[in-house]
Amino acid sequence: MIGTGAIGQLRHIPAMREAEGLGLAELVAICDPSGESLASAGERFGVAARYADFRELIAREDVDVVTIATPNSSHEEIAVAALAAGKHVLCEKPLALGYAAARRMEEAARRSGRKTSVNFRYRWVPSARYMKELVESGEVGDVRQIFMSYFNASVQDPDRPIRWRQTRAEGGGMFADIGSHMIDLALWLVGPVGRVYVQRRTFTSERPTEAGDRMSVDVDDAATCLLEFASGANGVISVSGMALGRVNYQRVELYGGKAGVVYEIDRTGDVGGDALQVCFGQAQHRAVGMATARVLPHHHGTPISCFLDFLRAIHEDREPPVTFADAMRVQEVLEAGELSAQRREWVDLPLPA
């Protein structure tokens, strides 16, 4: 496991510990160039083998799988090296800082023949899985519109020191960070995107650094993305790190020819994701409108299910539910959005190779 910061300790290492209990994998080593973070994670989770250089970790013959929880700028180098060494790789999202890098990562995956995945974990929220089932079964009818929101207050405080996620060099901003989750869900639920239009805002133009200096912010704090899908459906994605009162709030409203379906979570841990709001047809619309539908047992998922299903796919020699190819398509939409925001115009997909 490479990268022992917040997401590594919150998701990756606990996922591997869960996998150990299920007989799917054994966590043998962790890596981080920060000695303090490495020691903290090693002591907290009882991992003795610790590395500052990822190359030393992937050189171990007893390592079959590598997970990557580092800043976005280092994903490509680590993933390509791990794949070349014959390792299966699960990477954090977004896959890379740009579409070209994501394409190189996907090409490396295909050359290696190894399994890959990306932690787009919201596909495993029970109500999201129920929504997907209703779309695939035809009960929603032809999808016409989708409205998606992801809000938190992670950058609302102007005095909060700048982190790597708030830099173009390492993170890419709010649209790339949490917007990538919404784009993945949009592609998963509705299909390919034909063109996009994006508006971005940076409300806090300068932030303090950990060292006490000041640094300009060169990425967005919030963004709105208009989508036209290849199917003819329309969509809106709104993301914000400025939303007071919101910690991990998502809402997806999907409307088709036969039904309307609403998915919502409102706190860390995906609280609220155990039910959908649904309206099937004109009769329900006239009588009661939206009504609560509890998810079924086979929709069950947790924030670490992406990791466990990835490991099961390796054992069973099948395609994981999310792959580098899926994440590359998300990256293409992100890049089109970047171009749209710069040019202030619609950008068509697919992008030129």
95 — pLDDT class (breaks 50, 70, 90): very high
Q: How far is Cα of residue 208 from the mean position of the Cα atoms in its chain?
A: 27
Domains of the chain: 6-121+306-323 (3.40.50.720), 126-300 (3.30.360.10)
Distance CA 152, CA 173 (A): 13
Distance CA 40, CA 11 (A): 15
- Say if CB 127 and CB 344 are below 8 A apart: no
Distance CA 312, CA 295 (A): 23
- Say if CB 83 and CB 106 are below 8 A apart: no
Distance CA 144, CA 229 (A): 9
Tens of pLDDT, residues 42-88: 999 999 999 999 999 999 999 999 999 999 999 999 999 999 999 99
Tens of pLDDT, residues 200-248: 999 999 999 988 899 999 999 999 999 999 999 999 999 999 999 999 9
- Nearest CA to 199 among 175, 217, 177, 225? 225
| Token couple for 323 | 């792959």
Give the contacts of 125 (CB within 8 A, at least 6 positions apart). Answer: 263, 265, 270, 273, 301
- Nearest CA to 352 among 331, 323, 332? 332
Q: Is the pLDDT of residue 154 over 90?
A: yes
Return the axis-axis angle of helices 13-21 and 35-45, rounded to nearest 10°: 30
CA distances from 197 to 19, 150, 259 (A): 41, 18, 27
pTM: 0.96
DSSP 150: E
- Say if CB 64 and CB 53 are below 8 A apart: no
Tens of pLDDT, residues 258-313: 999 999 999 888 889 999 999 999 999 999 999 999 999 999 999 999 999 999 99
Backbone angles phi, psi at 265, to 5 degrees: -130, 155
Tell me the torsion sign for CA atoms 342, 347, 349, 353. Answer: negative
